[in-house]
Amino acid sequence: MTFVNLLLILFCMISRSIKTCLRKIFGDRFSDETGLLFAYSYDAKFEGAPDAVVFPVDSDEVSRLLSLATEEGFPVIPRGAGTGQTGGSIPVEGGVVLSLERMNRILELDRENLTLTVEPGAITGDVKSYVAGFGLYYPPDPASYEFSTIGGNIAENAGGIHAVKYGVTANYVLGLEVVLPTGEMISFSGKLYKNATGYDLRDIFIGSEGTLGVITRAVLKLVPAPEAYATALVGFPDVSSIRRLASTVRSLSASACELVGKNIVPILMENFPSTLPPKTSYLMLVEFDGFGDEPKRLLDSMLSSFREVSFVVARDDSERERLWDIRRNVSPVIRANCTRGVSEDIVVPPASVPEMLEFLEELQAEFSVKIFSFGHAGDGNLHVNICYDELFPERQIEQLLEALFRKTVSLGGALSGEHGVGIAKKRFLDIYLSEESIRLHRRLKRILDPRGILNPGKIFDE
C-alpha cells in the first residue's frame, strides 16, 4: 500500500451529506472509490489524496459544484489531463478533484474570423490536428501537447518550442467563459481581436493555475498554417557565440531556437554520430517557417553570418525529421541519466542565456551535482535538470535552488517560464515578487474566492 492509498483511507475532508449532494448533481459521474481516487492523486511530479472526483459535462454542473463548495467550505481542485510539473492539479488538503476531461468538445470553427471555440478538456494535439485540416494553425505546443488539455494550457499559460515566433497560450486566447468560486458564470471578449472597454479581466485567469476560476469555454485565435520550413542544427564549441546567434535568430523571426546543453551533447553524439556537427559543446536547433522560399532565404542569411560555428542543414522533410528526432531525444536522455533530481524551468532575458549557462557550470562544480540544461533559447526559457544521488542532503538542494533562483532574478528573469508555481516553487516566490505584489495576489484571491475553496495551497499560502 502506497502512502497516498493510506491517506485516502485514513482521512476524508468532506462529509456524507456533501457526498449525497454531489451524487445528486453528478450521478454516476461522482466517485469516491479508492482505486479511482488514486488515479487522480498525482501529476507528473507530485502526489496528494482527494476525497472524491467528479466529472462535469457542462458549465452548469461546474457552477453548482462551486456554489456548494463555497457554502460548505470544502476544497475543489480543477484538473485537466494531470500533466503538470509543479503540483498545480494536486490536492494539498483533500477535497474534490474537478476533472474537466469530459468537457472536451470542439464547438465551432469560424473560418472567417479565424477562431475556434472549445471546451476546456479538448486535447491540445487534437485541436492542432483539427484546424490543420483546414489549412490553419494553433501555435502553442507545450511538450505535452499530445495529451494535455486546452484548459490546463490556459491555466498555466503554456508555451512551447514555437513561442519564440508565435508567443504563448495567452497570445491565442480571445475569449473565455469562467465559473467563479462562488458559482457565478462570466464571459469575456468573445471573438474580439481588440477591446478597450473596461478592465481586461480575462487575463487574470490566464496563468492563474486554477486558483481564481474554472475555465469552461475558450475562444482561440488561429493563423494560416505555414507551408515551408528550413531547418539547421548548429554546433558551438563554447557559449561565446550563442548570444549573437540567438539575437540574429530572433531578429529574423525564426519559428524555433532550441538549445541543448553541454552535458547532454556527448550522449547525443553516441546516439546520432553521423548527424551532429563536429567539435560541438552546445547545440542549437534553428527553424524558419513560412511560405515559398522565404524560410530558406532567412536560414541562409543567418548561417552566412556565422563562420565560427559548424552546422547541418536539412535538405528534405526526412532530414528535417531526423534533426527534430535529436531534439526529441533530449528528455529521454535526461531521464536515463538522472534517476534522482529536480527540474526547473527558469526564464531570463534571451541575451542573458549565455551568462546563465556559465552560472550553471559554477553551480554544478560548487555543489558536486550534474546539471542537464536545455530549452527555448530564443525566448530565454531554460529547463534546468539538477541530478544527485540519494545521499545528497536536502538542505543543500534548497541552497542550490535558492542560488539558482536568485541568479535568475538578478538577470531580470523569473522562476517559471511555462510550468507555473504550483506547490513546487511557492516557497521561493518572494525571491521574485515583492511583499506588496504578494499581498495584492492574496487580496485578489480573497475577492474572487472569499472562502478559499478553489485550488488552495497553490502559488502562495493564504
Q: How far apart are the C-alpha atoms of 139 and 116, rounded to whole Å?
A: 13
Look at residue 6 in the predicted model and tell me its pLDDT: 47
Reported residue count of the chain is 462
pLDDT (tens digit per residue) in 25-57: 999 999 999 999 999 999 989 999 999 999 999
pLDDT (tens digit per residue) in 298-343: 999 999 888 778 999 999 999 999 999 999 999 999 999 998 999 9
Structurally, the chain folds into a number of domains equal to 4
DSSP state of 141: B
Cα 126–132–135 angle (5° rounding)? Answer: 160
Does 194 map to a domain? yes
88 and 72 co-located in one domain? yes
Summarize the confidence of residues 344-352 as an average pLDDT: 96
113 and 214 co-located in one domain? yes
Residue bearing cell 499559460 = 157
| Domain end call among 41, 76, 99 | 99
210 and 130 co-located in one domain? yes
234 and 220 co-located in one domain? no
Least confident span in 5-9, 186-190, 317-321: 5-9
| Domain end call among 312, 331, 350 | 331
Look at residue 14 in the predicted model and tell me its pLDDT: 83
Judge contact between 152 and 81, C-beta under 8 A.
Answer: yes
Strand order in the sheet with 214-221: 106-110, 115-118, 214-221, 173-179, 185-188
CATH code, 357? 3.30.70.2740
Q: How far apart are the C-alpha atoms of 192 and 292, rounded to whole Å?
A: 30
Does 441 map to a domain? no
142 and 249 co-located in one domain? no
Strands in 145-290 per DSSP E: 173-179, 185-188, 214-221, 223-224, 228-236, 256-260, 282-290
pLDDT (tens digit per residue) in 125-171: 999 999 999 999 999 999 999 999 999 999 999 999 999 999 999 99
118 and 80 co-located in one domain? no
pLDDT at 199 over 50: yes
219 and 232 co-located in one domain? no
pLDDT at 243 over 50: yes
44 and 87 co-located in one domain? yes
Three cell numbers, residue 17: 451529506
Does 429 map to a domain? no
84 and 154 co-located in one domain? no
- Return the number of other C-beta atoms located less than 10 Å from residue 320's C-beta: 17
Strands in 291-401 per DSSP E: 310-313, 341-347, 370-376, 381-387
pLDDT (tens digit per residue) in 78-88: 999 999 999 99
CATH code, 171? 3.30.465.10
Q: How far apart are the C-alpha atoms of 176 and 153, rounded to whole Å?
A: 13
Look at residue 115 in the predicted model and tell me its pLDDT: 99
Q: Supply the mean pLDDT for the chain.
A: 94
Residue 230, phi then psi, degrees to nearest 5: -135, 125
pLDDT (tens digit per residue) in 8-26: 444 556 899 999 999 999 9
Judge contact between 394 and 350, C-beta under 8 A.
Answer: no
Judge contact between 153 and 141, C-beta under 8 A.
Answer: no
Range of the domain at 122: 106-224
Summarize the confidence of residues 66-86 as an average pLDDT: 97
401 and 342 co-located in one domain? yes
Residue 199 DSSP SS3: coil
| Domain end call among 99, 125, 158 | 99
Model confidence at 2, in pLDDT bands (50, 70, 90)? low
Partners of 414 in beta bridges: 347
Judge contact between 388 and 397, C-beta under 8 A.
Answer: yes
DSSP state of 231: E
Does 443 map to a domain? no
Q: How far apart are the C-alpha atoms of 454 and 40, rounded to whole Å?
A: 17
Does 45 map to a domain? yes
Summarize the confidence of residues 424-428 as an average pLDDT: 97
CATH code, 294? 3.30.70.2190
Q: How far apart are the C-alpha atoms of 96 and 51, rounded to whole Å?
A: 6
CATH code, 75? 3.30.43.10
First vs last C-alpha separation in the chain: 32
- Return the number of other C-beta atoms located less than 10 Å from residue 380's C-beta: 24
173-179 and 185-188 beta bridge pairing: antiparallel
Judge contact between 47 and 41, C-beta under 8 A.
Answer: yes
Does 454 map to a domain? no
Dihedral class, residue 119 (left if φ above 0, else alpha if ψ from -120 to 50, else beta)? beta
214 and 263 co-located in one domain? no
Judge contact between 94 and 12, C-beta under 8 A.
Answer: yes
Q: How far apart are the C-alpha atoms of 344 and 373, rounded to whole Å?
A: 10
Summarize the confidence of residues 63-77 as an average pLDDT: 98
Judge contact between 48 and 41, C-beta under 8 A.
Answer: yes
Instruction: Enumerate residues 6+ apart whose C-beta is below 8 A from 48.
Output: 4, 41, 42, 87, 90, 91, 92
Look at residue 241 in the predicted model and tell me its pLDDT: 84
Does 437 map to a domain? no
Look at residue 12 in the predicted model and tell me its pLDDT: 57
Does 319 map to a domain? yes
207 and 267 co-located in one domain? no
Percent of the chain with pLDDT over 70: 97
Look at residue 189 in the predicted model and tell me its pLDDT: 84
